Amino acid sequence: MLKGTPAGRHVLRVKVHDRARRETAIGEVAVVVVDLTLDAVMQSGSLRISGVTSSHMLQKIQKGRSLYEHLKSEIAKLHDISDEQVDVFSLKDVDGGVDIRYNCHSSPYYTAARLDGLLLQHRRKVQEALGVDIEMVDINLCLYEGTSPCGSLSCQHTMRPNLTAPLVIASDTTTLVGVDIADDYTCDCGALEPLPSVCFDGFCYNGGTCSVVNNTLTCDCLDDSNYGPRCELMTARFEGGFAWFEPPPVCESPSLSMTFETNAGEGVLLYAGPIVTSPWRDYPRDFVYVFLNNWVLEAYLDLGSGTTNVSVRIERNTARSFQFLLSWDKLEVTFEVPDCGINGTEDVPDPCSASVRLPGTPRKQSHLLNIQGPLQIGGLEATANFKWLSASYGWTLTPPSAVRFSGCVLELRHNDFLFDLNSTDYSQKTFQPCDAPRTSRVVLGQHSVIIILASLLCLLSSYHNAKSSSLPVLVLVILCLARRGRKTVSYPDLDRELVKETMGGADTEGFGEKDVTTFDLKFLQVTPDGYLVSAPSPPNTYSSNSPDHPQPTLNSPTLPLHPHPQPSPPALLPNPTSSSTHLPLSPFSHCGPPRPTPTTSPFTHPLHAFPHPHRSTHPHYPHPHPQPTLPPLSLPSPPPPPSLLPTFPHYPSPSTHPFPH
């Protein structure tokens, strides 16, 4: 095939002549050309099917279709795409089966985290549809400590495509010319390599522009607050959603750090580990889980020899950012939250840091985190019940479930690797960057709905060629809908409101003095004892057994106004220390010699004549002077109620005004 052949389906027709038999035949061959980029190969999903070979995958065995074509259809269903968007580009025979690599593309290519994660979720369903046994998903020997090429050391897996010799697989009717993939393993944690000195495509992420400054590659990004050195998007906002990323590699003495702002005291920050119960033997049981639980940062970690839990309390503050650092080595796990906002005590001098020892004996102790599954940020989209996972993998502690996170992630790192939060292609309710504008909602009011209905009715009338007599019916329907949409305006009950009106507010006398007359209509709802009808019940001043002083109630009828003011005798109170009744003393009787008790004005509230309840009438109240003892008086008959006319303030007449007019 010539270089530069366009992708697509090409049909070759060949005419064959048999001169000896004088026969002519036309042969037809369909050639499907797929354009693969290096990114498509590196971001590929992988699986291993046992009991079949690569040539068997290409044979037509079911309804005129091969197992190869059926596999493409099932993968397309998982991602809701067409079969043409699935490229199975490598079939490689291994001991006991065949290793398959594929990619899916919509606009960009799907990431390996999405491809492997969704296939692992629906593995049983795909097995039943194909009638095969999927022995492994995500072919990476670093994830299995028992068979890892690096043993108990750091392990990195990389794919190296053979660009000079293609992979050719032939069957009776089909031939596949694919990509030969070699799996390389290095026993390090992503060793730092010197940066190149020449810009190339892909060095700067997210549309950044590469340039060379002092023999060093730099990136010009959209802004400096949301992007990293290579324009990695560092911030994202989560509103009860989630996002999938590539899991961290297998490293010795690693560290995970995250900077975040939260809107609540609960929420999942990250989880990486099994998302289904153990699908096959020796499936990795390792996981890491960090979440907020009532303003306590908790971390659960299992490295294969036991589950550990460590927590740090943080201050209840939604207006600041927090950072946690989770690290471990061969001996212990350390969880730190710099500036957690909690003060130390004698028992806990450093409340922002906690550490626990790794479980297990030194000989059987595991210290590598082998993650097979996506790194989930902000929430758990695909995780079985933790109780089921704990029972399936033998975790010694069962972590609790938590709600999805609401807030912003400002930075996520694994060792020195800065995650690009824009590299996810499987997310929900996640917005990049954190300060991305929120989506607005269009709310249709009732009048808008009426207009839409009226327009639809007009269109229907025009469509059916309605007569002119149908127009009044249409107008009547619109008017009925509009009338029904009106709301009855209700006014609050103003009967018991305090109504005041100011009269004579003009300055008729000069010198800034105004005639102000206040009418308080509240007095029209007063009981005979002087209490408002709408007010709460007055205190029980009188004995409940005294028939002369009945208790006022809220339902007491109001009395009519008297035509003339009636004099009121002095109010009397029973003495709590004596059976006889005395005249009340003046509230000022403890200051100086005794003073005569003022009489009650006919326009004064009856309670105004009562003495202070905690002063002269109290039997134990101290007095600087001896109190006079008045002769007892017999109780008269109940006095008539005082007049309830409004009180008019007294103003000097013009003749007595101190200043001439």
Secondary structure string (H, E, C) spanning 135-184: EEECCCHHHCCCCCCCCCCCEEEEEEECCCCCEEEECCCCEEEECCEEEE
The residue among 80, 142, 164, 165 whose CA lies nearest residue 114 is 80
Find the helix packing angle between 112-121 and 67-79, rounded to 10°: 100
Name the DSSP class of 526. B
Name the band, by pLDDT with cuts 50, 70 and 90, for residue 517.
very low
E strand map for 417-499:
417-418, 427-431
For the residues 450-477, what does the mean pLDDT come to?
Answer: 60
Strand ranges inside 349-405, DSSP E: 353-357, 375-377
Tell me phi and psi for residue 14, to 5 degrees.
-125, 130
Tokens matching residue 539: 């205190």
What 8-state DSSP symbol labels residue 276? S
pLDDT, average across residues 270-297: 94
Q: Which residues 6+ apart lie within 8 Å of 483 measured at CB?
A: none
Nearest 5°: phi and psi at 90?
A: -145, 125
Tally of CB atoms within 10 A around 660: 5
8-186 fold:
Alpha-Beta Plaits (3.30.70)
Higher pLDDT, 575 or 248: 248
Place of tokens 């709301």: 487
- The one-letter amino acid at 80: D
- The average pLDDT across 440-450 equals 57
Q: Given a cut of 70, is residue 616 above it in pLDDT? A: no
Span of 208-222, 451-465, 528-542 with lowest mean pLDDT: 528-542
Specify the CATH architecture of the domain 233-431. Sandwich (2.60)
For residues 22 and 524, which has the higher predicted lDDT (pLDDT)? 22
**Mean pLDDT along residues 293-302:** 96
Check pLDDT > 90 for residue 191.
Answer: no
Does residue 659 surpass a pLDDT of 60? no
Alpha-helix residue ranges (DSSP H) falling in 333-393: 386-393
* pLDDT value at residue 16: 87
pLDDT value at 618 more than 70 = no
Tens digits of residue pLDDT in 470-494: 555 555 556 555 555 554 444 344 3
**Residue located via tokens 């029972």:** 391
Contact 432, 205 (CB under 8 A): no
> Which tokens is 485 given?
């949409």
Q: What was the pLDDT predicted at 196?
A: 75
> Under 8 Å CB-to-CB from 533, ≥6 apart: which residues?
525, 526, 527, 554, 556, 558
Q: How confident is the model at residue 73 (pLDDT cuts 50, 70, 90)?
A: very high
Give the 3-state secondary structure of residue 389: helix
| Burial state string for 383-420 with b = 16 or more CB within 10 A and e = fewer than 16 | beebeebbebbebeeebeebebbbbbbbbbbbbeebbb
* Amino acid symbol at 90: S
| Residues in the chain, overall count | 661
Q: What distance in Å separates the CA atoms of residue 616 and residue 614, rounded to the nearest whole number?
A: 7
Query: Which pLDDT does position 189 carry in this prediction?
Result: 87
How high does pLDDT run on average in the chain?
76
Q: Out of 45-59, 130-144, 149-163, 526-540, which region has the weakest mean confidence (pLDDT)?
A: 526-540
User: 76-90, 259-273, 507-521: which has the minimum mean pLDDT?
Assistant: 507-521
Task: Give yes or no for residue 446 having a pLDDT over 90.
Answer: no
Distance between CA 269 and CA 406 in Å, rounded?
9
The dihedral sign for the CA sequence 120, 121, 124, 126: negative
Taking 90 as the threshold, does the pLDDT of residue 516 lie above it?
no
Share of the chain above pLDDT 70, in %: 64
